[in-house]
Amino acid sequence: MFKFKYLSYIIIKGGFVLVNNKVISFPELDGKQALSLVGIHDKNLNVLSECFGKKIFFRNNEFIINDVEEEIAQQIEEVLMALYEVVKKNQSVSERDVLYAYRLVSKSEKVDFDNLNNKIIGRTLTGKIIAPKTKGQLNFVNAMEKYDVVLSIGPAGTGKTYLAVIQAVSMLKKGLVKRIVLTRPAVEAGENLGFLPGDLKEKVDPYLTPLYDSLYDMLGVEQTEKLIEKKTIEIAPLAYMRGRTLEDAFVILDEAQNTTTSQMKMFLTRLGFNSKMVITGDITQIDLNHGSKSGLIEASNVLKDVEEIKILYLTADDVVRHPLVQKIIESYEKSSIENNKKVREIKEKFIV
């Protein structure tokens, strides 16, 4: 239960009379829930204040908003109510949850964490629940369950690789697949790894760190290494997939934007019975030689009408890393749009 009310007093500041101060009250909040809602050292509260550009204070289970217009006050109320529903179930609220709720509310979209929190796809080694954090991530998880081949395209920080690995480990634990195959194009080494020291695993490891991080989260280092030794988890460069048929496996191709057309076609045709393939990549970070076409971009166009294949596009709204990452992505996207517009204008000037 919460209460929303206007403050009747007036604040004199710098010669101006500020009115429209409002209070949103949550009388049933206990101490633990209040701490989760506002965050340690008021981190969540500070993020909320920064998002809306308003001073927001929390005292005695009341959020006090200074000098706020009615529309903004209603939006802040929507965000707080959505977050309140989370802490009511004794679940924690993070800064990214505050940001995500703000993004949805600012677009007049409904904030519903229930659908996200109810979709548990795994647990970390310490027992922490792993669930989608955004609608885009939820769609990605649902697609991995439903389709044998999924292409997930989106910027850094959207959880593409992490969720794919977690889904793979979950299916392995349930006995739905017999092994996990992780691969990635080693563009920096030109797929020619022979000159590097060590065995195959040691040569490829530097390119697969994000995949290992996800495995360690869910299995721990020791268990991960045991499964690799038993070949239950296989690490291999993309070039080593040629000529194979991968059955009873969950296969993940990471950094797929750096595949060539022939590599992507080769990989896709490795699909065997009772297997799943998840292909992830960020088409804004292509490291191929100039003039080379990205296999991921071409595949997303060629396969868009194949009903059995799901192609998803995640956006900056699905970024779950540091808040600054989202701002960086949005700035680059804006710059790219502006540059493309300038190029079109220049071309139009020279069209006779």
User: Can you tell me the mean pLDDT for 78-105?
Assistant: 88
For the four alpha carbons of 301, 307, 309 and 313, in that order, the dihedral sign comes to positive
Separation of alpha carbons 125 and 123, rounded Å: 7
User: Can you tell me the mean pLDDT for 20-36?
Assistant: 87
pLDDT at residue 330, as a whole number: 74
User: Can you tell me the mean pLDDT for 236-263?
Assistant: 91
Residues with Cβ < 8 Å from 299, sequence gap 6 or more? 151, 264, 265, 268, 279
Separation of alpha carbons 131 and 22, rounded Å: 34
Residue 23's Cβ-count burial label (10 Å; 0-12, 13-18, 19+) is middle
- With pLDDT > 70 as the criterion, what percentage of the chain qualifies? 83
pLDDT at residue 17, as a whole number: 43
pLDDT at residue 306, as a whole number: 96
Separation of alpha carbons 28 and 61, rounded Å: 8
In this prediction the pTM is 0.77
Separation of alpha carbons 294 and 128, rounded Å: 37
288: helix, coil or strand? coil
pLDDT band at residue 255 using 50, 70 and 90 as cut-offs: very high
Q: Which of these ranges, 68-77, 152-161, 270-279, 334-343, has the smallest mean pLDDT? A: 334-343
pLDDT tens column, 187-241: 654 445 555 556 655 666 676 777 888 899 999 999 999 999 999 999 888 888 8
14 has pLDDT over 50: no
Going from the C-alpha of 202 to that of each of 114, 193, 206, 236, the distances in angstroms are 42, 10, 8, 10
Which tokens sit at 231? 């070949």
User: Can you tell me the mean pLDDT for 306-312?
Assistant: 96
pLDDT tens column, 129-163: 888 888 999 999 999 999 999 999 998 888 899 99
Going from the C-alpha of 271 to that of each of 71, 181, 277, the distances in angstroms are 52, 12, 7
Number of helices (H), then strands (E), belonging to the chain: the values are: 13, 14
pLDDT at residue 342, as a whole number: 64
Residues with Cβ < 8 Å from 282, sequence gap 6 or more? 153, 154, 155, 156, 255, 257
Separation of alpha carbons 164 and 279, rounded Å: 9
The total number of residues written for the chain in this structure = 352
What is the DSSP code string of 68-135?
A: --HHHHHHHHHHHHHHHHHHHTT----HHHHHHHHHHHHTTPPP-HHHHHT---EE-TT--EE---SH
pLDDT band at residue 172 using 50, 70 and 90 as cut-offs: very high
Which tokens sit at 39? 């965050």
User: Can you tell me the mean pLDDT for 282-292?
Assistant: 85
173: helix, coil or strand? helix
Residue type, 219: L
Q: Which residue has the tokens 């550009």?
A: 53
44 has pLDDT over 50: yes
What average pLDDT does the structure give for the chain? 84
Q: Which of these ranges, 50-54, 139-143, 228-232, 267-271, has the smallest mean pLDDT? A: 50-54
Separation of alpha carbons 19 and 16, rounded Å: 10
Q: For residue 24, what are the β-bridge partners?
A: 4, 63
18 has pLDDT over 50: no
Q: Are 252 and 183 in contact (CB under 8 A)?
A: yes
